[in-house]
Chains A and B, each alone.
Chain A
Amino acid sequence: MRVVIAEDLALLRDGLIRLLTAHDFQVVEAVDNGPSLLRALVTHRPDVAVVDVRLPPTFTDEGLRAAIEARATVPGLPVLVLSQYVEQLYARELLSDRAGGVGYLLKDRVSDIGQFVDAVRRVAAGGTAMDPEVISQLLARQSRNEPLAALTPREREVLGLMAEGRSNAAIAGRLFVTEKAVSKHTNSIFAKLGLPPSEDDNRRVLAVLAYLNA
């Protein structure tokens, strides 16, 4: 799997390259600033990009802007954004094109290597990997969006875990219920959100997008 990395701190950049190479990713280019990132994404069109939000030259949200711009040129280009902090606002902007293939994680999630590599793979496959912090903020909010307000608290919880990118089996393990119960919840969620029966993965992405954009 071909991957582009954008990270300005050499220590972290080398760490990411080593980590991903060890898990059978092929790092086609590792850049350290916003403009080179945009060029690398558009020329290489990698299977997935791992991008730090804060990059030179402005040291603000350069990485995020470059990723969004690249996705405008290459629709659905899978991008996993890493940051020292998460902002709802940025999650929303990343998801605004409703194309999926988006991840937004705190940098320290990288320390759980197994989960991090899973997240990169999931994003590459067009899924989502939202940080639990984004989800917990969403759960704390009152829903004012019509179809979402109809969800039961349990269904919201399931949807949150789906947004983090967990499978039904993983959700079942987390909530101490059977996988069958989870699949009942997911079907109910799809119905309430008015998502027609289709390939399960696609519906999951759509449900998550509806949830995060609420």
Chain B
Amino acid sequence: MPDPSRAQSVPERLKQFGIAFALLAMCAPGVAFAAVTVVSLALVWAWVAIPVLLAMAVTIRAWANAHRALAGHLLGVRIDEPYLPVPRGSWFDQLRGLARDPARWRDLAWLFVNGTCGFALLAAAVVPLLAGLWHFVFPLLWSLAPGVFSGYLPFVTIDGPVEAFAYSYPLGAACLALWWRLAPTLLRANARLTWILLRPTERSVLAKRVRQLAESRAETVDTQAAELRRIERDLHDGAQARLVALGMSLGLADEAVERDPAAARELLAEARQATSQALAELRDLVRGIHPPVLADRGLPGAVQSLALACPLPVDVEIDIDGRLPAPVESAAYFAIAESITNVVKHSGASRAWVRLRHADRLLTIQVGDDGHGGADQSGGTGLRGIERRLAAFDGVLAVSSPAGGPTVVTMELPCESSSPRISPSSGTA
């Protein structure tokens, strides 16, 4: 973590000087942006001011983000953007959205504070070095043009070259010492000022979190509703229909048994066929809801069984102590199943591998293959579906799939595990 007050090497100090100088130069345009915004606000009744305000909002956001990045770098922290999403719609709707975002008003306040207090701090960090250098150059300038530079040092009038050296070198040394001693602290103070005004407030962090939760909840509810509809349809068209057919076959067999035993026998065979098909459909349905092997063996066993059922060779490596919460196991299972299906369907791979690791309350899942790559996270509905499934648990998904391969899908799910029961295991299926 770069801590400016501890940076003691000269190149490091000069780099800091560069940053301070740049920040100092950036104060004035910042104030200009703020002034334009304030004037436009006053003129908002005239419609021309609205596009100006919208343009300023974009500019100030970028401007503030640059400062967030710099201050974050100096303080060794990450400063996130606090903005609410800008609503789509007419200019007026957008402007209303901006006006309702406290972060935008804080930006405006910061521009003024940065243009005054920030400016003062930065100037105090920059000027001593410049002054020091000036004092070292001064005697030479005095010798070249004695008349012109006589009154250029504070408090005294210089009459001769010796006097010039005698006054200016100690002063220069004092300035440089002052710079060396104070500049890091001042730069840090400026960064802290930026941090205080530009970091997300607790309120905005919470608001953002609430927005995320509302989104993921809505998606979860949608997914579940769709899932229930699918189950209903599968039952209706599958097992239920088969059972109706079964009842009919049995009824007909009952009628035929005296009259035509051979036909009755055929109908009974049909009935048996219908039960088998109904059972097969129910089995598929159950597998889609909650695979029995997942209930029996937990995630490790279920993933091994997935690997065994896969037409490609799949290496499985599992490092999980204990059982994970059932909903997480289920989400992880279906995410892995979907990923393996993608590998088989799209990658053209000859091998695949699955790695599961649970450490520090984080379940990390990786599914990779040696295929031709080019998988697109935004393109396929498959990956999007996995993302939605994981989002319900604050999980995330990242895909690395350069053209030519290999493809690696990494998923992370925060979760705790219960009592250790399953020891680490690995194997090839």
B414 at the interface (CB under 8 A from A): no
The interface stretch among A19-27, A41-49, A81-89 is A81-89
Q: Which residues of B contact A112 (CB under 8 A)?
A: 272
A108 touches B275 (CB 8 A): yes
Q: Report the separation of the CA atoms of residues A142 and B73 in the bound assembly, to the nearest whole angstrom.
A: 53
Task: Considering the complex, give the chain B residue whose CB is closest to the CB of A61.
Answer: B296
B297 touches A88 (CB 8 A): no
B309 touches A142 (CB 8 A): no
Q: Which residues of B contact A141 (CB under 8 A)?
A: 310-312
B214 at the interface (CB under 8 A from A): no
Interface of B is mostly: helix
A137 touches B309 (CB 8 A): yes
- B105 to chain A minimum Cβ distance, whole angstroms, is 58
Task: Considering the complex, give the chain A residue whose CB is closest to the CB of B284.
Answer: A85
Task: Considering the complex, give the chain B residue whose CB is closest to the CB of A137.
Answer: B309
A184 at the interface (CB under 8 A from B): no
A11 at the interface (CB under 8 A from B): no
B313-345 CB mask vs A (1 if < 8 Å, else 0) is: 100000000000000000000000000000000
B305 at the interface (CB under 8 A from A): yes
A85-102 CB mask vs B (1 if < 8 Å, else 0) is: 101111010000000000
A84 touches B283 (CB 8 A): yes
A84-B292, A108-B279, A111-B275 known; A89-B308 Cβ under 8 A? yes
Residues of chain A from 111 to 133 with CB closer than 8 A to chain B in the complex: 111-112
Q: Which residues of A contact B310 (CB under 8 A)?
A: 141
Q: Report the separation of the CA atoms of residues A84 and B292 in the bound assembly, to the nearest whole angstrom.
A: 9
B308 touches A85 (CB 8 A): no
Q: Report the separation of the CA atoms of residues A85 and B282 in the bound assembly, to the nearest whole angstrom.
A: 10
B308 touches A92 (CB 8 A): yes
A60 at the interface (CB under 8 A from B): yes
B301 at the interface (CB under 8 A from A): yes
Q: Which residues of A contact B279 (CB under 8 A)?
A: 84, 106-108
- B241 to chain A minimum Cβ distance, whole angstroms, is 17
A84-B283, A108-B276, A111-B276 known; A89-B313 Cβ under 8 A? no
A87 touches B276 (CB 8 A): no
Q: Report the separation of the CA atoms of residues A51 and B377 in the bound assembly, to the nearest whole angstrom.
A: 46
Q: Which residues of A contact B312 (CB under 8 A)?
A: 141-142
B287 at the interface (CB under 8 A from A): yes
Q: Which residues of B contact A88 (CB under 8 A)?
A: 305, 308-309
Q: Which residues of B contact A106 (CB under 8 A)?
A: 279
B293 at the interface (CB under 8 A from A): yes
Q: Report the separation of the CA atoms of residues A185 and B308 in the bound assembly, to the nearest whole angstrom.
A: 27
B14-42 CB mask vs A (1 if < 8 Å, else 0) is: 00000000000000000000000000000
Q: Which residues of A contact B422 (CB under 8 A)?
A: none
A61-B296, A111-B272 known; A85-B283 Cβ under 8 A? yes
Interface residues on A, range: 20 to 34
Interface residues on B, range: 20 to 34
CB within 8 Å: A-B pair count = 50
Give the residue of B283, B295, B309, B311 whose beta carbon is less than 8 angstroms from that of A60.
Answer: B295
Give the residue of A87, A92, A142 whose beta carbon is less than 8 angstroms from that of B293.
Answer: A87
Q: Which residues of A contact B283 (CB under 8 A)?
A: 84-85
Q: Report the separation of the CA atoms of residues A141 and B306 in the bound assembly, to the nearest whole angstrom.
A: 12
Q: Which residues of A contact B280 (CB under 8 A)?
A: 108
A89 touches B311 (CB 8 A): no
Q: Report the separation of the CA atoms of residues A90 and B296 in the bound assembly, to the nearest whole angstrom.
A: 11
B286 at the interface (CB under 8 A from A): yes
Q: Which residues of B contact A137 (CB under 8 A)?
A: 308-309
Q: Which residues of B contact A85 (CB under 8 A)?
A: 283, 286-287, 292
Residues of chain A from 9 to 55 with CB closer than 8 A to chain B in the complex: 54
Q: Which residues of A contact B297 (CB under 8 A)?
A: 60-61, 89
Q: Report the separation of the CA atoms of residues A6 and B95 in the bound assembly, to the nearest whole angstrom.
A: 72
B75-106 CB mask vs A (1 if < 8 Å, else 0) is: 00000000000000000000000000000000
B304 at the interface (CB under 8 A from A): yes
B276 touches A89 (CB 8 A): no
Task: Considering the complex, give the chain A residue whose CB is closest to the CB of B298.
Answer: A60
B313 touches A142 (CB 8 A): yes
Q: Which residues of B contact A90 (CB under 8 A)?
A: 293
B296 touches A60 (CB 8 A): yes
Q: Which residues of A contact B308 (CB under 8 A)?
A: 87-89, 92, 137
Q: Which residues of B contact A140 (CB under 8 A)?
A: 311
Residues of chain B from 234 to 290 with CB closer than 8 A to chain A in the complex: 272, 275-276, 279-280, 283, 286-287
Task: Considering the complex, give the chain B residue whose CB is closest to the CB of A138.
Answer: B308
Q: Report the separation of the CA atoms of residues A87 and B293 in the bound assembly, to the nearest whole angstrom.
A: 8
B293 touches A89 (CB 8 A): yes
B313 touches A144 (CB 8 A): yes
Q: Report the separation of the CA atoms of residues A125 and B313 in the bound assembly, to the nearest whole angstrom.
A: 34
Task: Considering the complex, give the chain B residue whose CB is closest to the CB of A60.
Answer: B296
B305 touches A87 (CB 8 A): yes
- A105 to chain B minimum Cβ distance, whole angstroms, is 12
| B275, B287, B296: most-surrounded residue (chain A CB, <10 A) | B296
- B315 to chain A minimum Cβ distance, whole angstroms, is 11
Q: Which residues of A contact B276 (CB under 8 A)?
A: 108, 111
Given contacts A85-B292, A87-B308, A141-B312, 15 further A-B contacts (CB under 8 A): A54-B296, A61-B297, A84-B279, A85-B283, A87-B292, A87-B293, A87-B305, A88-B305, A90-B293, A92-B308, A108-B279, A111-B272, A111-B275, A140-B311, A142-B312
Name 30 A/B residue pairs within 8 A (Cβ), A-sorted.
A54-B292, A54-B296, A60-B296, A60-B297, A61-B296, A61-B297, A84-B279, A84-B283, A84-B292, A85-B292, A87-B292, A87-B293, A87-B305, A87-B308, A88-B309, A89-B297, A89-B305, A89-B308, A106-B279, A107-B279, A108-B275, A108-B280, A111-B272, A111-B275, A111-B276, A112-B272, A137-B308, A141-B311, A142-B312, A142-B313
9 closest Cβ contacts across the A-B interface?
A: A88-B308, A60-B296, A89-B305, A61-B296, A108-B279, A140-B311, A144-B313, A87-B293, A85-B283
